[in-house]
Amino acid sequence: MSILASKQAQVNAKVQEYNDLISIYNAETDKETKKQIGEEAERLNKQIKEYEDEYKDLEKKIKNYDSLREDMEDLLDEIEEETQKQIEINIKKFNMELEIRLKLGEAERDWNKFRREVLEHTDILKDSDFSNIFSNALQGVRDITSYFNVHGSKGSL
C-alpha cells in the first residue's frame, strides 16, 4: 500500500468514526451524554483536519519529488548528450591531426623525391663554385625543414 493510500485510509477511518459518533449524537436524548459526544466529535474533527493536512502536505512533497526527479533525469540526459558531442569533437580533432600529419609526411617524401631527381639531372661537377651551391642547398634544407618540422610535437609521425 502506498504512503498516500495509507494516509487516505487513516482520514477515511476517522471520518467514518466521526460520522458514527454524529449518528449516536443524533439518536441520544440525554443532554450530558450529548455534551460528551459533542466534545468527542470535536476532538475527532480536529484529528481529521490534522490527517487531511498531513495528507495534503505529503501529496505536495510527492509531487515536488516527482518534479525534481524528472528535472534530474532531463539534466542527466543533457549531460550525456554534451559528453557525446565532446567525444565526437575529440575524435574529429584526432582524425584531422592524423590526416594533416600524413599529408605533411607525403609532401616531405614528394619533396625528397623531387630533390633527388633534380640533383640527378644537374651536373654539379661543371659548376666551379661548390661552396655557393652547398651553401644555397643547406639554406634550402633549413627552409624546408622549418616548413615540415613536426619532430617533438605531440603525436608526430
- Inside any domain, residue 154: no
- Inside any domain, residue 108: yes
CA distance 157 to 83: 29
| Residue 103 pLDDT > 80 | yes
- Inside any domain, residue 156: no
Digit-coded pLDDT (tens) for 108-118: 888 888 887 77
What lies within 8 Å, CB to CB, of 157 at 6+ separation is: 101, 102, 104, 105, 150
| Number of structural domains the chain divides into | 1
- Inside any domain, residue 153: no
Digit-coded pLDDT (tens) for 36-71: 877 887 888 888 888 888 888 888 888 898 899 999
Q: Range of 106's domain?
A: 3-148
- Surface-to-core class of residue 27, CB atoms within 10 Å of its CB (0-12 exposed, 13-18 middle, 19+ buried): exposed
What is the reported pLDDT for 134?
66
- Inside any domain, residue 89: yes
- Inside any domain, residue 45: yes
